[in-house]
Every structure is written in C-alpha cells, then in structure tokens.
Structure 1
Amino acid sequence: MATHLLTGAGSGIGAVVAQRLVERGDEVWLLARDARRAAQLRETFPTARTLVGDLADPAKLSWAFGHQTLPVTLDSLLHVAGVVELGHVADTPVKVWQETLAVNLVAPAELTRLLLPQLRQARGSIVFVNSGAGQAAHAEWGSYAASKFGLRAMADSLRAEEAPNGVRVTTVYPGRTATPMQQKVHQQEGREYDPSRWIAPESVATAILTAVDLPRDASLTELTVRPGQ
C-alpha cells in the first residue's frame, strides 16, 4: 500500500485525485489550512488522514508540522492547490503578489523541503500541478504566471538535486480545466462559464496518477494537458 500526501483535495483536480487514491486502498494524507477544513475533508474522505498547515503562511508550516504526526514514508507528494487573481500589473497590489507567490510557489517549496526525508526513504515522486500560464504569460495574468514560472524553475532544480536520491519530480501543465477556480477566472474575465468547453478534472487526475504510477525505470519530467478538439 502506497502513501500519498496532497494539497487542494477540497475541490476540482485535487478532490478527484484524492478520491481515486482512497478507492484503490492507498494511505492518503490531506493538507488542510485549518482544523475546520480538516474536519470537512475527513467527512468527505473518511479513511484519509489530515495535516493542518496554511499554505498562505508558509513560514509557519515547520512549526505546525512540529506539533503533528507526519507519515513515516511518502510514495508521493502532490502539489495541487493554487490561487489566482487576474489583473494588470499596474493595478495589482502587493497583497495579491504576496498571497499568490506564497500559495503557488513558496509553500510548495517549503512543504517539499519538510517532507523530503520521507520521500527519499521511499524513493518517491513529487508532482507539481502547474498551468499553461507557467509556459506562457498573457495580459492580466502577471502575478499568477510569475508564480507558475517560478514553480517550474524550482521543480527543474529539485529534479536535478534529488535524482541521486531516487526521487522523481514531475511538472504537469494543465490547460483550462473545469474547476471552481476556472469558474472564478471566468467571472473575473467577465465571460460566461461553460465547463463543457474545458478539460475535465478527471483527465488531469489521470495524468497526475500516470506520473506517480510509472514504473521505476522511467520518469515523466513534464506533461502538458490541453483541451481536446
């Protein structure tokens, strides 16, 4: 039985990944921002275990984990959570930059650092769910794209550093996916939201688990997922 820890299990892609891992009988740990959210996740996934740590405040993750029981080994660490606020660079306040970079970049780096001993012991996999915005930046996507470009760079460095330890690192770049985040983006864009136009979260979840389940003789370093035609 494999052991996995993931962020963003409350909705969208993360919820699908968590459900699939639970259904196949793996040990699943879910990161929640607070105790209330942890309780909600346990109601949805009764067999899962939870850790509490706020991705918006990555400097406190080490302290939070020091007061909780962590998994002994980890076969995968799945970074799925993310935030987005659209806006021109000229209009984006410091608070938005700080929150976006904290949740989308600094927290994944810190969470990975804290759990690397468990991942090294299991020769596990780390998957960063990035975005098409991590490959090309467009108008009004400045803060989000900056966080995702940074996440890509961090993953590339981590991959080179951890290869001797047998830890695999994968970056998944989904295009627009039918999730609550995408609905929010459409509202910010002033566009009508039609989920049937976009990738189903189940398809992105399949890509993530493909990377995790790949035999040890190979590694998926980068995987781009785009809406079908």
Structure 2
Amino acid sequence: MIRYLGEKHLVLPALLIENYQSVIGPMATMIWIDLLYLLEAEATDNWHEALLSLTKLTEEELAYQLEILTEVELITIKEDVIELYQPKRPKKLEEPEKEVAVSIDQSLDDEQKKKEAIYDYYHERIGMMGAKEFMLLNEWMEVRGLNPELVAKAIDITAENAQFPSMKYLDGILKNWFNANITKLEDLETPRQKGTYFKKDPPRSTPQSSSPAYKSVDIEKVKKWKELFKDDYKD
C-alpha cells in the first residue's frame, strides 16, 4: 500500500520540477509522479509491480531510483509500505550555499590581504608611512570604499609624476577620482571616465642668465638692420 503524507488534493507540486528534478534526475522524478498516480488510482496494494509495469525498468534500475528518492527524503520504504512525502527544499540543494559562504569568507580574506599589501607598496614607492598616512589610506579603502587596486594605481602615478612624492599628492588624486565616482580600477578604464585626474608637477624652472643674449629681441630693429645690409641677408 501507499500512504501519502502531504495534502489531500493530489496536485503535482511545482517544487518537484523546479528544485528536485535537476538534483535527482528525470527518472526518479517520474517515479515519484507514478507513485502519486497509483495513489490517486487507488492501485496501491502492489505498488512495486505496478511501477515496474509503468516504467519498464528492471528490478535493479527501479531499486536504484527508489534509493535516490529515499536519500532526498521524498519517500520512505518500510517493508511493503511506501510513504510519499510532500516535496520541499532538499538537503542536497543546501550544499552550494555552504560553498558560497566559504567563498565569501575567502574573498574577504583576500581583500584584507590586498589592503595590507597597499601599505607595503606605499612604503616601497613613496616612502616611510606614519600613523597619519596609515589612517588616511585606511579611510580611503575602508570608509570610502576605494578598491585597493585603484589605490595602488594612484601610488604609481604619485611616484612617477610628483616632484616630491607624498601623501598629500596621493590624497589629491584619490579625491579627484572619488568625486568623479571612480572607486575601482575598471572605472578608470571606461570611456566615460577617461581623462586626466591628476597633473604633473611643473619642472623646475631654470634661472635665465643676465647676459644680453637672453634679452628680448626688438623685431623692428632687426627689419631695419636687414634693409640696410641687404647683401648680407638673403631670403
């Protein structure tokens, strides 16, 4: 005999198709439906033989499919009695959630390592880092949410373009990017964000000599000079 422990009205549960079929396979799904059919047809006394007839499976094949249904708690078999359970979220479907949780933890750990690497990178490219510099970098990443890769890019720009690389110069770059809604390296590479959000320090000016050779030239005097000495100046 078959005892159905779900609702009285035998409507095919959507969860069986949506959540279970991809886990247990179409054959095990169909066998559960066949059992529901046998119950509705009141042909429950010899359910085992009826299933063999409906599915055309061998004894071994049917036993294997029934084991699958038992494993996900859709049925239980006690001697000649099979109990049919209402489909719910199967335990096997919960495993990916655990994997996601592990993945999130790993991601957080990797992100922390990247942030710690930024402090070493600042020391390598710009110089010693004091408590003030540490707190400022930490604020940009932890509070304002700038990606560590973006901060590393700003450190590179500071080291390559600043006449005297410093946290002040780096902070200016990060402020410009933050105000332009640039929070990760990919934002900096998008067409709408392309542009110069930093400026190079001007080169040191070379003092001009007091020699007459560096004085400005009077163009009108040059013209008159050429007119007086045409033979010496040919076009």
TM-score, normalised by the number of residues in structure 2 = 0.21
Which one has a larger percent helix, Structure 1 or Structure 2?
2
**Higher relative contact order structure (alpha carbons within 8 Å, sequence separation ≥ 6):** 1
TM-score of the superposition, structure 1-length normalised?
0.21
Name the structure where strand makes up a greater proportion of residues.
1
